[in-house]
Amino acid sequence: MSESRSETGLAPLAAASAHTSYADAPEEVRERVVDLVADVVATAALGSGRDEIRLLTDEMSASGSSGSATVIGSRAGWPAATASFLNGSAVATDQLQDGHREGRGHPASHVVPAVLAVAEERDASGDDALSAVLAGYEVGVRLGRAMGGTNPGVHDIGTWGSVGAAAAVARLVRPGDDAASASAIELAQSAVLLTDAATIFSGRTGGHAFLGASVQLGLTLGTAAASGLAPMPGSLERHFGPTAARDLDPTPLASWNAYEVLGGYVKQHPTCAHLHGVNDAVADLPPIDVAHIVEIEVRTFAAAAAFDAIADTELAARFSVPTSVAVALAHGSLDETTLTAANVAASRDLASRVHVIHDPDLDAGYPAGRPARVAARLADGSEVTASADRPRGDADRAFTRRQLREKALRLLTHRFGCVHAGRILDAIHALPFGGTPRELGLALRAAALRPGERR
């Protein structure tokens, strides 16, 4: 191993990734990995029903969709790289993707679509696929933590997530091969996407493709490295750090003493993660007749306070404090059934009564949490308040397995109906017990069939 790899901790990182074993991991880690696969598949399933993803899938099929990987919502077989792009794009649409706050990104949402596509194409075992998911998650988050954030204007979605996907693919196709894992990490670090944060934060549909492209890039570079294409060593300090990282500190790369997968989060609210403290606080307010609300004051940290514009579209509402607060108060919840174009349009008056204030005292709570203080002032002069710090679904506030299953089942049912939703979820939970990604793909394709149609 080269000197640069030793200095950055790449050698132990690559070795740990290459030899990651799902079967040998602690029970809580194994359960978490399966639950994350279910969450990503269910989130992609929900997104696959959106018009922009349907049109994208139709457009991609015009150039041919011959292969053995599954695109969620499609009955055809697709090349793995194309499937990973389309499924990754679908994951991003509703802002329900998983994340890791200290890593500042969405590890499973990058890794799972890449692994499932390659694993289905190669008819890999469930155990091998889950080992690859775990490896890619751990590599990606460690690199995200090492970055110390991204440079101004750059969204993390194209940076360390694709490196995690590349590491996962290398673990899947070259298990136990330290050199292949090291090459995958180095090669992916050498070709990051510098995705525009404004495109995503403004709710533009093109942002969906950023996640899809990052997943596809990771899959492609991981495959290239596994086939022997060699990177130039030292990519972390030479290229990745100066290009993508705000304050690079390689220290997190050298240790594999704890599982980062236990420190991630799963979303409850279909909004940007910066808004989740606000959304949690609003959910904790007692029921209020919105006609009696004079003003809603939202105090929060700087990054969340920047999302203070009233949204004009349903996608933009997922990045709007005033609109997401207004929809939640008007409808009693904020989810895939209430955050609709009609409800966003109807909420403009209430949203205009939401005043967002940057509270410097709350800045220290980020990125470990998303602190917010909400006060609703009513026409009778009374006031109701609620606060939030670390959002629901995050690390020490993680959802139970039952809650995670209920979320996945709800999203899958919304897209495919209850019968197919149960079968898809059963196929995911069968992966550690002899089930395969190819069997999961068959369950997803069967859900996409029209009534009475043969596969």
The length of the chain, given as a count of residues: 455
Confidence of residue 8 (pLDDT cuts 50, 70, 90): low
Minimal CA–CA distance to 168: which of 135, 208, 205, 198? 135
Of 3 and 102, the structure prediction assigns the larger pLDDT to: 102
What b/e string do you get for 240-259 counting C-beta neighbours within 10 Å, with b at 16 or more? bbebbbeebebebbbebeeb
Tokens of 325: 């607060």
For helices 401-416 and 437-448, give the axis angle rounded to 10 degrees: 40
Check if the beta carbon of residue 72 is closer than 8 Å to that of residue 444: yes
Q: Which of 118, 108, 172, 170 shows the shortest CA–CA distance to 140?
A: 108
Q: Band the pLDDT of 66: cuts 50, 70, 90.
A: confident
Instruction: Quote the mean pLDDT of the chain.
Output: 94
Q: What is the mean pLDDT of residues 286-309?
A: 96
CA-CA distance, 13 to 138, in Å (whole number)?
Answer: 9
Report d(CA 388, CA 333) in Å as an integer.
16
Structure tokens at 120: 């289905």
Residue 154 three-state SS: strand
Q: What is the pLDDT of residues 382-412, one digit of tens each?
A: 999 999 999 999 988 999 999 999 999 999 9
Cα separation, 272 vs 94, in Å, equals 9
Domain-wise residue ranges, the chain? 3-263, 273-390
Q: What is the mean pLDDT of residues 89-112?
A: 95
> What is the per-residue DSSP string for 81-124?
HHHHHHHHHHHHTTT---BBTTTTB-HHHHHHHHHHHHHHHTT-
**CA 154 → CA 161, 199, 397, distances in Å?**
14, 10, 29
Of 122-131, 175-184, 252-261, 342-351, least confident by mean pLDDT is 252-261
How many other C-beta atoms are found inside a 10 Å radius of the C-beta of residue 232?
12
CB 388 within 8 A of CB 277: yes
Kindly indicate the confidence band of residue 450, based on its pLDDT and cuts at 50, 70 and 90.
low
pLDDT at 176 over 60: yes
431 or 257, greater pLDDT: 431
What architecture is domain 273-390?
2-Layer Sandwich (3.30)
User: How does residue 64 score in pLDDT terms, banded at 50, 70 and 90?
Assistant: low
DSSP character at residue 394: B
pLDDT grade for 3, boundaries at 50, 70 and 90: very low
pTM: predicted TM-score of the whole model, two decimal places: 0.95
Give DSSP secondary structure letters for 418-445: HHHHHHHHHHHHTGGGT--HHHHHHHHH
Fold of 3-263: 2-methylcitrate dehydratase PrpD (1.10.4100)
Element (H, E) at 385: strand 383-388
pLDDT, residue 254, reads: 83
Q: How many CB atoms sit inside 10 A of residue 213's CB?
A: 19
Rounded to a whole number of angstroms, the CA Rg of the chain reads: 21
